[in-house]
Amino acid sequence: MKRKTSIFIFILILLTTFTPKNKIIISKFNLKEIEIENNFLLHENDIKKMLYPIYDKNLIFLKNSEIKKLLMQNSFVDSFIIKKKYPNSLKVEIFEKKPIAILIDKKRKFYLSEKIELIEFENISNYRNLPYIFGDLEKFKIFYYDLKKINFPFDKIKKYNLLETNRWDLETKDNKILKLPIENYIFSLENYLKLESNNSFQKYKTFDYRIYNQLILK
């Protein structure tokens, strides 16, 4: 803390008693090194390339908003923490978004974050087995939060499919199909969770809830 206070006082004196000699001293605070921490998916060199415009800028006058503008160009960046390390280095701690699914939208692929935000798609081996979503983003957002309310096991879902009739089909990783009704599908999902744990229903592959108050098993 004392060291930070001393640096601040020193900078204040330089700024309030400016001379050509002070100009040379202030230039020693130009940014020369950037440390990147906590990045998992994003490569350190790629992050540094994003921050290239701030290299050699004076660390004293460098604003967080400048750094934010550069970092947030990458849709994988969720948030970050910046620490200036005088005289001439910067530490950036990155917090990345975690993809939970792959959205197919007009033949384009996007990752979806836990907050249902679009992330530019890259072929990343860690996320090859994510479930696919075929449907409207806003409608999926409603459906996703409804699933969360009943603690539906997302790790068992292979595919979400929104049909033209405006209802959802779910395909599980053990190849079961849930045909949900347009309305009151939460009741159907809760019923499926009860049946799934019952050995008597393990042989069935299709759970059809489309007709009100009925379940057709195949």
Query: What's the pLDDT tens digit per position in 139-196?
Result: 999 999 999 999 999 999 999 999 999 999 999 999 999 999 999 999 999 999 999 8
For residue 1, pLDDT beyond 60? no
Sign of CA dihedral 62, 64, 69, 70: positive
Query: Of 67, 96, 125, which residue is a domain's last?
Result: 96
Q: In this structure, are 70 and 142 located in the same domain? A: no
Half-sphere exposure of 29 (CA within 13 A, CB side): 18
Q: In this structure, are 77 and 175 located in the same domain? A: no
Give residue 13's pLDDT: 47
Q: How many domains does the chain have?
A: 2
The DSSP secondary-structure symbol of 191 reads H
Q: What CATH number did the domain enclosing 71 receive?
A: 3.10.20.310
Q: What CATH number did the domain enclosing 112 receive?
A: 3.40.50.11690
Q: In this structure, are 31 and 119 located in the same domain? A: no
H helices of 40-102, in order, are 44-50, 64-71
Q: In this structure, are 6 and 56 located in the same domain? A: yes
Query: What's the pLDDT tens digit per position in 45-57?
Result: 999 999 999 998 9
**Using an 8 Å Cβ cutoff, are 109 and 103 in contact?**
yes
pTM across the whole model: 0.78
Query: What's the pLDDT tens digit per position in 60-108?
Result: 889 999 999 999 999 999 999 999 998 899 999 999 999 999 999 877 8
How far apart are the C-alpha atoms of 103 and 209, rounded to whole Å? 25
Q: In this structure, are 106 and 173 located in the same domain? A: yes
Q: In this structure, are 110 and 66 located in the same domain? A: no
Query: What's the pLDDT tens digit per position in 4-62?
Result: 554 554 555 455 555 554 445 567 789 999 999 999 889 999 999 999 999 989 888 89
b/e code 114-152 from CB counts within 10 Å (16+ = b): eebeebebeeeeebeebbbbebeeeebeebbeebeeeeb
∠ CA 110-111-116, nearest 5°, is 110
Q: In this structure, are 90 and 144 located in the same domain? A: no
Which domain does 77 fall in, by range? 2-96
Query: What's the pLDDT tens digit per position in 106-120?
Result: 778 999 999 999 999
Tell me what the mean pLDDT of segment 191-206 comes to. Answer: 91
**Residue 169, both tokens:** 């089909």
For residue 209, pLDDT beyond 90? yes
How far apart are the C-alpha atoms of 75 and 138, rounded to whole Å? 18
**Residue 192, both tokens:** 């499926």
Q: In this structure, are 172 and 213 located in the same domain? A: yes
The rounded radius of gyration (Å) of the Cα atoms in the chain is: 26
Q: In this structure, are 105 and 120 located in the same domain? A: yes
Q: In this structure, are 80 and 146 located in the same domain? A: no
Query: Of 96, 111, 141, which residue is a domain's last?
Result: 96
Q: In this structure, are 83 and 54 located in the same domain? A: yes
Q: In this structure, are 88 and 116 located in the same domain? A: no
